[in-house]
Amino acid sequence: MIKYVQEQQLFHLMTPNTSYVMALADGEWLGHLYYGPKLDDTTGMENAFRLNEFPFSPKVNERDKVRFMQGFPFEYSFYGTGDYRESCLGAENAHGQRGVELTYRSHSVIAGKVVPEGLPHTRGCEDCCDTLDLLMADDVLGLDVHLLYTVYKDLDVIVKSVRVVNRGEGPCTLTRVLSGQLNADPDSAEVLTLHGSWGRERTITRQRLETGSVSAESLRGVSSAEDSPFLAVLSEGTTQTTGDVWGMSLIYSGNFLAKAQIDQIGQLRCVIGIHPEYFAWPLAPGESFQSPEAALVYSDEGLGKMTRTYHDLYRNHLIEKRWLTQDRPVLVNNWEATMMNFNTDVLIGFARSAKEAGIDMLVMDDGWFGHRDDDTSSLGDWFVDEHKLEGGLKRLVDEVNAMGLKFGLWVEPEMVCEDSELFRAHPDWRFSLQGRKPGALRQQYVLDITRPEVWDGVYSQIKAVLSSANIAYVKWDMNRYLTDVGSLEREPSCQGQLLHRYVLAVYRMQAQLLKDFPDLLLENCSSGGARFDAGMLFYSPQIWTSDDTDAIERLSIQEGTALVFPVSTMGAHVSVVPNQQTGRVVPFNTRAKVAMAGTFGYEMDIRNMDPEEKAQIPGQVAQFRKIHPVNREGDYYRIASFRENHTYDCWMVVKKDRSLAYMTYVQVLAQPNRPGVRVRMQGLDPDAMYEVTCDYDGAMAARNGESSIGPQTTRSLGCFNGGTLMKAGIIVPRVRGDYQALLYEVTKTEG
């Protein structure tokens, strides 16, 4: 609900449990007043602006206007006229001078969503959300700035974006257009970000913020493995279940800035949006610029409630609707087993073994195109290497389909190798700076797909391949960051557009792919999890979480990812041991249990597995198929974190009607002479009775002196009251050995 209170010149945005309040000072300056638990009455709230304190408002005290500008809690801040804090909007006039000053003009409320053209966005309809279009303007520059706020009727979310229009008679250049700002007011603050690197993506990091700033950012051309486009401000001491949380998540896949800053008088400002570094957008009269969307969430019940709100938003209003209820295929990928050393017969062998194990899909990874026997050649040559695939792609796919399996394919459309037919024909198609030889990474360069002829040349090849056979799944990879971002085909004034135009070109290509192949399952990947962001989820319902497939490393990676993104979006596979990234040896059962938290599949040579382990695959696949509908649609609860306690990890997913739940417990480090661990469940019906069963590895049972029937042992622990399970908990036994996993099924009973 969106309410305008005329006598206070106040805007009140209401979700089921929260209020977001802003108002006008002196009838023109738009300021932020409040974001927190839902308010019944906003009478007198405008006094929070402190306009009766020095320096007062400019209307009263023009001689100290700059003091006002540097302290007023602007709703959408601007640079160059007195506000020295991190700002959202910057612009340069035709004389090269920088300065913006926005004042209020009008507002309107629209039923449904305003869709940002060419950008991924939360989806909405007239019945499920309303949008406030709040028009601000700078008459000197001739800019109209539309602040857009979408309020969902069933979610505690505010979705922000900005559209800037040049209604003046001359050009100007936008030097920054961030998507949104948040002015939080905790008594003491921590900032939570998701930092990392390749193989250690999205590690939860918390820092106390007293003065100065904390930021997460990327200048790599993608959202990056090093930082995620997300930031949260927490009241100090916040846990999964207690404390105030203000979250900001950007629906974008390129350079970004997320920053929290406390100024000299103790006010906290957070901003998020496209990174202003290397960004310059010329805006001719009549032209407009649209920012990506930012999703804001407030929780007064700790991080867990914030997480579940983001999960519901992204499942129900971002990811394509059909994937909410459609099962994902269990797949086997040949990469870690064969690298690029394979042929048709090898892949047919994979398919036969996959069919025997109950797997749904075979995915052929890198090495099927051009003459690519290693990573030094052929990117850009998207045609089948018939020396490897004798008889062509269609023959292979038809044989795999005839066995009852689907077929998937790896591609990397954004890149080119010097040793390729594409590069030899079009050496100018890669990004390059005048007079410099571009730097190679992994023997590859980035194609300038912002140019129509390059975009068309790449996409036509990909489309031809996918049209030639029955391809059900595409893994879209992007294995290097952007450098040398320059275009010899564009005017100097347009070079500052390239990084954003590149992201728009990727979006357009994936949108066209899904339009041409509407039944395709697309999984994004970027050298692991370097482009795991909400922008990509608009096109692909799942993203490869990390190239680090070690199950113990994945505990932290998947914990950080699931803080914001639904567990059903996390690409996760069972891989070989010793693990190729860490050398760690983890039991097959535990590797499977951890991968079941995501999309699930196998990244190993299933033709030549240990017979005991291979015999477990059908049971693991069946177990995943039981768990997946709950993971896909249910509520996620983080019970314990190995990253924090250094001993064990535990999470739980509960069906929306609270009739069924699955809890996974991983004992990472065994300890002698310790009692069992008390684990308190979450999300259950406190008045219902539940039967609890535990499923664990038979080998684990044998080590504990218990009888084992088959590779898995399931034991009923009895019936419990839901309230008891959440308050008193259950005792998880200490078992012998590191890296042991148990899966608990919690089922509501009749009566």
Hey, which residues are catalytic here?
A: 477, 547
d(Cα 374, Cα 377) in Å, to the nearest integer?
A: 7
Three-state DSSP string of 485-500:
CCCCCCCHHHHHHHHH
Q: Check: CB of residue 218 under 8 Å from CB of residue 275.
A: yes
Strand order in the sheet with 660-667: 635-640, 648-654, 660-667, 740-748, 689-697, 712-721
Plot region of 563 (φ>0 → left; ψ -120 to 50 → alpha; else → beta): alpha
**End-to-end CA gap in the chain:** 39
Q: Check: CB of residue 502 under 8 Å from CB of residue 482.
A: yes
* 3-class secondary structure, 633: helix
Q: What is the DSSP letter of 222?
A: S
Torsion from C-alpha of 233, 236, 241, 245, nearest 10 degrees: -20
CA angle 716/718/721 to nearest 5° reads: 135
Residue type, 259: K
d(Cα 679, Cα 648) in Å, to the nearest integer?
A: 11
**Alpha helices per DSSP H over 517-572:** 534-537, 551-562
Q: Which of 719, 720, 537, 551 is nearest to 649 (CA)?
A: 551
d(Cα 613, Cα 608) in Å, to the nearest integer?
A: 11
d(Cα 608, Cα 642) in Å, to the nearest integer?
A: 33
Dihedral of CA 5/78/155/309: which sign?
A: negative
Relative to beta strand 331-333, strand 730-732 is unpaired
Q: Which of 124, 128, 106, 104 is nearest to 115 (CA)?
A: 124
Q: At what angle do helices 344-357 and 392-402 cross, to 10 degrees?
A: 20
Q: Which of 439, 504, 436 is nearest to 221 (CA)?
A: 504
d(Cα 162, Cα 89) in Å, to the nearest integer?
A: 10
Q: Which of 692, 429, 474 is nearest to 571 (CA)?
A: 474
Q: Which of 539, 574, 581, 428 is nearest to 490 (CA)?
A: 428
Residue type, 239: T
Q: Which two tokens stand for residue 536?
A: 């990509």
d(Cα 659, Cα 663) in Å, to the nearest integer?
A: 14
Q: Which residue has the tokens 């406390």?
A: 262
Relative to beta strand 635-640, strand 648-654 is antiparallel
Relative to beta strand 331-333, strand 601-603 is parallel
Helix (H) or strand (E) holding 146: strand 143-152
**Alpha helices per DSSP H over 134-259:** none
Dihedral of CA 224/227/228/229: which sign?
A: negative
* 3-class secondary structure, 158: strand
Helix (H) or strand (E) holding 677: strand 677-679
Distances (CA, A) of 79 to 165, 175, 182: 17, 10, 16
